[in-house]
Homo-oligomer: A and B are copies of this chain.
Amino acid sequence: MIRIGYLGPEGTFSEEATIRYAAGREVTIADRPSLEDIFRDVAAGRLDQGVVPVENSTEGAVGAVLDLLAGPYNLCVHGEIFLPVRQTLMARRGLRLEQVERVISHYQALEQCRGFLRRRLPTALLEECASTAAAAGRVAASAAPWAALGPARAGLKHGLQEIAPNANDYPDNVTRFWILGKEPRPAKSEQNYKTSIVFGLGDRPGALYTILREFALRGINLTRIESRPAKKNLGEYLFFIDLMGGQEESMVREALQEVNSITLGLKILGSYPVEA
């Protein structure tokens, strides 16, 4: 039985993505209290795979996940999942929207609803907490006129009522998750693959040009380019790139060899089937 970990507690969007991925497979799923716990347990073999959020269409990259991927755990990407994310405002039965004095949620959820909150609840206090599921629990446990932002199922679980079913500012709000494992996913060439890499460029971000040229010359499409600080000096960056093609394909292999000779510490995070 394969064990898959996600960022808990139960009721988060991460759990929803994991349930979707697990559907029809022989797996057990288990929550972990932090992203680093997922990385540590997959690296130590206590989990076979982990599901982690990597970017959101409104809020961008999940920096903590990118930093962990560039770090010492050396996990590999086995696949990706796209989850439509609808933030629902929920409160105890009977509370009306205009009565809400405090909105509790995870930092990213509050950011995704910033415009809605400013328009509809301009005087409410915004309180950040560790997860959308924990926010629903906090609201359910208090008699105060508070509301939680998060997945509708987190509210259901705590007996909360929806008071604004779709509070995110951008209707097509989507989060992309990666499935991580300890060993590279075995390549099967019959599918449409994507490859993800990370590398450093020291203090020469302009050198990104010479990297991108290697892909452009070979007609390799890039679907994402993301920078993260290298954590040493301001102005030193790591770059994360997703490209179309598996690392076993000759054009991709050739390009990666060239890129390896130019960059600092190229790490191939993995090749995996493209999801719609």
Spell out A's residues near B (CB within 8 Å).
36, 55-60, 63-64, 82, 107, 111, 114, 118, 126-130, 169-170, 172, 174, 176, 205-206, 208-210, 212-213, 215-216, 220-229, 231-235, 237
A94 to nearest B CB, angstroms?
A: 28
- The residue among A208, A210, A225, A233 with the most chain B CB atoms within 10 A of its own CB is A225
Instruction: Return chain B residues, CB-CB under 8 Å to A231.
Output: 57-58, 169-170
Partner of A209 from B111, B206, B209, B232 at Cβ < 8 Å: B209
A166 CA / B22 CA spacing, docked (Å): 43
Nearest to A176 among chain B residues (CB) is: B234
Judge whether B235 and A223 touch: CB under 8 Å. Answer: yes
Judge whether B63 and A60 touch: CB under 8 Å. Answer: yes
Instruction: Return chain B residues, CB-CB under 8 Å to A172.
Output: 232-233
Instruction: Return chain B residues, CB-CB under 8 Å to A226.
Output: 227
Closest 10 pairs between A and B when the two form their complex, measured CB to CB: A128-B128, A206-B222, A209-B212, A57-B234, A209-B216, A174-B234, A60-B229, A170-B231, A205-B225, A107-B107
Judge whether A170 and B232 touch: CB under 8 Å. Answer: yes
* CB contact under 8 A between A215 and B223, given known A128-B129, A234-B57: no
Nearest to A222 among chain B residues (CB) is: B206
Nearest to A214 among chain B residues (CB) is: B209
Number of copies: 2
Instruction: Return chain B residues, CB-CB under 8 Å to A36.
Output: 118
A224 CA / B113 CA spacing, docked (Å): 29
Task: Identify 14 residue pairs between A and B in the complex whose beta-carbon atoms are under 8 Å apart, listed by A's number.
Answer: A57-B232, A60-B227, A107-B128, A128-B128, A169-B231, A170-B231, A172-B232, A174-B233, A174-B234, A206-B221, A209-B209, A223-B235, A224-B235, A225-B225
Nearest to A206 among chain B residues (CB) is: B222
Judge whether A222 and B234 touch: CB under 8 Å. Answer: no
Judge whether B128 and A229 touch: CB under 8 Å. Answer: no
A233 CA / B219 CA spacing, docked (Å): 24
Judge whether A57 and B233 touch: CB under 8 Å. Answer: yes
Judge whether A63 and B59 touch: CB under 8 Å. Answer: yes
If A205-B222, A206-B216, A209-B212 are given as contacts, then 20 extra A-B residue pairs at C-beta distance below 8 Å, sorted by A number, are: A55-B229, A55-B234, A56-B234, A58-B229, A58-B231, A60-B229, A63-B111, A64-B111, A82-B234, A126-B130, A128-B128, A170-B232, A174-B233, A206-B220, A206-B221, A208-B208, A208-B212, A208-B222, A209-B209, A224-B227
- The residue among A118, A172, A213, A226 with the most chain B CB atoms within 10 A of its own CB is A226
